[in-house]
A and B are shown apart, each in its own frame.
Chain A
Amino acid sequence: MNTHPQVLDGTGAEISGLSAPAIGTPRTRVEGRDKVSGKARYAGDIPIERLAHGAVVTATIASGRITAIDPSATLASPGVIGVIDHRNAPRVDPEAGSPFFGPDGQLQLLQDDQIAHGGWPVALVVAETHEQARAGAERLRVSYVEQPHDIAFSPGHPAARPALSAFGPDANKGDLDAELAASAVVVDESYTTPAQHACAMEPHVATAWLEGAVLRGIDSNQAPYGIAAQLATLFGKPLSDVRVQVEQVGGGFGSKTGLGPQLILATMATMLFHRPVRVALTREEVFLATSARPRTDQRVRLGADRDGRLRAIGHEAAFEISGKSEFIENCVEIAKTLYAADAIRTRLNVVPLNILPVASVRAPGTAPGSFALESAMDELAERLDMDPLDLRRRNEPEVGPVSGLPFTSRNFQLCLSEGARQFGWAGRDHRPRRRREGHLLIGTGMAGTSFFTTAFPSSATITAEQDGTFTVAIAAIDIGTGARTALHAIAADALRVGWDRIRLRIGDSAIGPAWQAGGSLGTTSWGWAIVAAARDLLEQLESGPALPVSVTSDTTEEIMSRPHRERHSYSAVFAEVAVDPATGEVRVRRLVGRFAVGRVVNPLMVRSQLTGGMIMGLSIALQEEVVRDEVSGRQVNADFAGYHFAANADVPFIDADFVEDHEPDDPLGMKGPGEIGTVAVAAAIANAVWHATGKRHRELPIRLDRVIED
């Protein structure tokens, strides 16, 4: 791989002979040349000798059990090697799961005859080619007894119960009812958001094989180490006998943080058939059998004095969940940190249904949560007859509004003012339906957010080589974030050497424990470990030892010993929309985002990531929704023709940039820019649509049939 990126000045022009620190300098991706010439290798691209292919068969019912599987036609089909179903699959550990949410029933593939959601994998057909495997899968006859399914989500569902509290307890500050009663103006509205999918362009794919006792896997995922650990537990192997690798990952957006069905099924197949087996999920299977962001229903109550000072924030959210695994879609997180108020109360409930298990999709919790809270803030501004920007300026907290803890660095106001200035917000007529261009209605809107940040323990190994280079190894992964390039820069600066002397190894669970590309904290967590290892190595090198010398450093202690403080990123987003009331079409004309995301390692890539996040927010506002058939209980739009997200023509040039920010409790001053771009955009667009048309949209997406006028 050519790992010499171009160094760019602020305008994108190339600079030569630069010897400044690597951090803070815009650089092109180290794998950029490989990616534009077709040489970058993804999990499905690696050639393996004697490879067999697995095709998945998924349940066509949403609830019930399998009564019979007749594989005779499949086994007679050309090229078929065998069929795995619940009768012959290797048994797995029922306790396997995640550290946050406990045992995960979604990992229990092919273990019994029970069906709890449409699309659940019921068999794997293994054949010499993938066409043969698919043809064999089409011939597999599976019989079911169907039972009534329940996919009817509502916050008042009889099975509703509190969500797990692993992400913090409910807020119970002050007396919400009393403060609402004392408020001059009150908003009490409910907001709903649909289930959504991550839709990484690369479908989940894995290849597994056995090398003696060692289970090897090449898997498209966001967490090589974490997934190897899950896989080891699931199949009862010591972690030293499991190795998961990947070079490039075609996007994740949360959907590849956990052990996916592709790797579990490929592992089972290689155990049974003693061949390397690749399982490439089809796009439909990615929709039906991986995971999704849950539907939410959120009641927001705000109370304020006439001057806009908030007295009360109530945010009660419910989200759907499958019966198989727990998850926390923490919609109420922002209500605990963004604004000061005398009373703050949050509740978070789950409603178990016969649906695909829910899990992380970019900005879990905050993406739907900010839509509700920041729409309600706009409604409050409307009822106060106040500039919504001023309302947000008026409620800046001194300390954590619920926790009482100090903030490490809080630059929300800077985001608001910089964003407003860039957008040209000043002088906006705040009354709705005032601007027209021909038959189009024009409106502007804004929203803001906070986004929780921290760092997670990781380990890195750095070797000072005899030739003067440094090999930096960490079980990190670059899913398109630019992590590889950023870690390269971090290592160069930490070792105080030029870019050329760093050799970076990532994407291999065997390197050692490391956090995932998740929570917007991959590069932050890995960077800290590299800094720690570089510091330890440089210390050792002072005594002039014989080379090579390796050190491995782990950040667990340092991270755990930080003081308790409120640590967040912040953003402000401004949107302009044009609405055709005759057709209901909404087009986003302008999007400006300003972000306080700590120190920026690579401005070029961070702007890309923030821009991309905002585009996902645009899609969430206008297009994205899982549509389920109430009769069959199954998703009916499980493809890209039915599940829409933004195409190029939907997206204007976007102004996404960062403000000066620094996280004092991180050795590099970093927070994470990975997800915050997606947050607050839906509210900003919904608020702009209200401003254009006078109609509130409390239900996403803002489809044309909801906008069209008589």
Chain B
Amino acid sequence: MKEFAYSRATAVHDALTSVVGQENARFLAGGTNLVDLMKRGVETPDRLVDVRALPLDGVHEARNGDLVIGATTTNSDAAAHPEIRRRYPALSQAVLAGASGQLRNMATVAGNLLQRTRCAYFADLSSACNKRVPGSGCAAVAGVHHNHAILGASPACVATSPSDMAVPMMLFDAVVHYETLDGKGEIPISRFYRPVGDTPHLETTLPDGALITSVTLPSAAAGERSRYRKVRERASYAFATVSVAADLVVRSGQVREVRIALGGVASHPWRARIAEEELRGGPATPERFRAAAEAELSAAKPLPHNGYKLRLARNLIQSVLTEIVH
């Protein structure tokens, strides 16, 4: 690890000022991803600005009923929060399915949204990786890609987002709020992650030097029956192979409302809008769920060794929706 300077910010403005004009400065929150990548030499900051002492911690309800999750709220606190458990249970479930109790006590909500891929080639400096070194190539395409993307990838990068939390955030149409020295801004999560294209190193639409201050969950998007189901290679403490967050409202056997988001299949959490469209207004049956999942996945481009994710994603969508009905 390279030497670096460290400071602790106590006001948002100070934090923003201390990274201005410094390309190699990074905000440090839980550190569960950044410190890891610094040890590997993937991240080489000259300066860390610790943002955990900022007054951005905690969950509260806004006047309009939206739930506001402060940027530095830990995963644990978010998952345990009564209102999240009551109104957005898929978010609690997703957070609790991620990492371990220790890591959830450290990791923050904003940091989680910015989590980098766990692709082994990204983490290994001797491998080609367009995300780490633009233009160097992608070792995963011809290499080991058993757990790589089937949707939305490009020849430049087939890495997946490892975040569990971001999947229900996509489901619940979360809004990311940030500040820069120019003022405040917000980005709906559907526009927060960039398509991969040939610039996989550019991951989000967050402006340079911006600090995420909170994430809001719209009250209109609440889903008390929403669910998150994660499949992984052991029972706990492993990244997702495929995960599904879904919410479904059925009246008289007909789908009134449906939302589906997938994890582990793309560079960012994947909102399955095609499947949602297929299902809306139709009968809520396992067969229809399966057909809708297949419609969503018809655009998938599996690699030689990750085609099983198609079956897995389809089966998982079907079984999660079926579980919600019952």
Contact = CB atoms under 8 A, between A and B. Distances in A.
Task: Please tell me whether chains A and B touch each other in their complex, using a CB distance cut-off of 8 A.
Answer: yes
A631 B143 contact: yes
A704 B315 CA distance: 13
B311 interface: yes
B2 interface: yes
B236 A703 contact: no
B311 A710 contact: yes
A134 interface: yes
A709 B239 CA distance: 22
Contacts of B121: 636
Interface in B185-234: 231, 233-234
Interface residues of B, number: 31
B146 A627 contact: yes
Interface in B1-50: 1-3, 41
A135 B315 contact: no
Given A636-B144, A642-B120, A705-B146, A582 B238 contact: no
Contacts of B127: 632
Interface residues of A, number: 36
A632 B233 contact: no
Interface in B102-144: 118, 120-121, 124, 126-127, 139, 142-144
A582 B318 contact: yes
A708 B1 contact: no
B3 A708 contact: no
Contacts of A646: 234
B241 interface: yes
A632 B236 CA distance: 30
B139 A644 contact: no
Nearest to B41: A138
Given A135-B1, A631-B142, A631-B143, A647 B315 contact: no
Contacts of A704: 231, 233, 241, 308, 312
Contact of B316 (A583, A623, A627, A710): A583
A647 B235 contact: yes
A648 interface: yes
A644 B233 contact: yes
B319 interface: yes
Contacts of B238: 641, 644, 647
B120 A632 contact: no
Contact of A636 (B3, B143, B235): B143
Contacts of A135: 1-3
B315 A583 contact: yes
Contacts of B318: 582
Nearest to A60: B126
Interface in B302-321: 308, 311-312, 315-316, 318-319
Interface in A572-610: 582-585, 587
B235 A649 contact: yes
Interface string B237-249: 1110100000000
Given A582-B316, A583-B315, A631-B143, A636 B120 contact: yes
A584 B312 contact: yes
Contacts of B139: 629, 631-632
Nearest to A703: B233
B120 A582 contact: no
B133 to A, nearest CB: 15
Nearest to A585: B231
A584 B144 CA distance: 20
A474 to B, nearest CB: 39
B233 A649 contact: no
B1 A131 contact: yes
Contacts of A636: 120-121, 124, 143-144
B148 to A, nearest CB: 12
A644 B311 contact: no
Contacts of B3: 78, 135
Could you say which of A587, A630, A648, A708 has the most chain B C-beta atoms within 10 Å of its C-beta? Answer: A708
Given A135-B3, A705-B146, A650 B316 contact: no
13 contacts: A135-B1, A583-B319, A585-B231, A623-B233, A636-B144, A644-B233, A647-B234, A647-B235, A649-B236, A649-B237, A650-B236, A704-B233, A708-B311
Interface of B: 1-3, 41, 118, 120-121, 124, 126-127, 139, 142-144, 146, 231, 233-239, 241, 308, 311-312, 315-316, 318-319
Interface of A: 60, 78, 131, 134-135, 138, 439, 582-585, 587, 622-623, 627-632, 636-637, 641-642, 644, 646-650, 703-705, 708-710
Given A138-B41, A583-B231, A646-B234, 17 more contacts: A131-B1, A135-B2, A138-B1, A584-B231, A587-B235, A623-B234, A631-B139, A632-B127, A641-B239, A647-B234, A647-B235, A647-B238, A649-B234, A649-B237, A705-B146, A705-B312, A708-B312
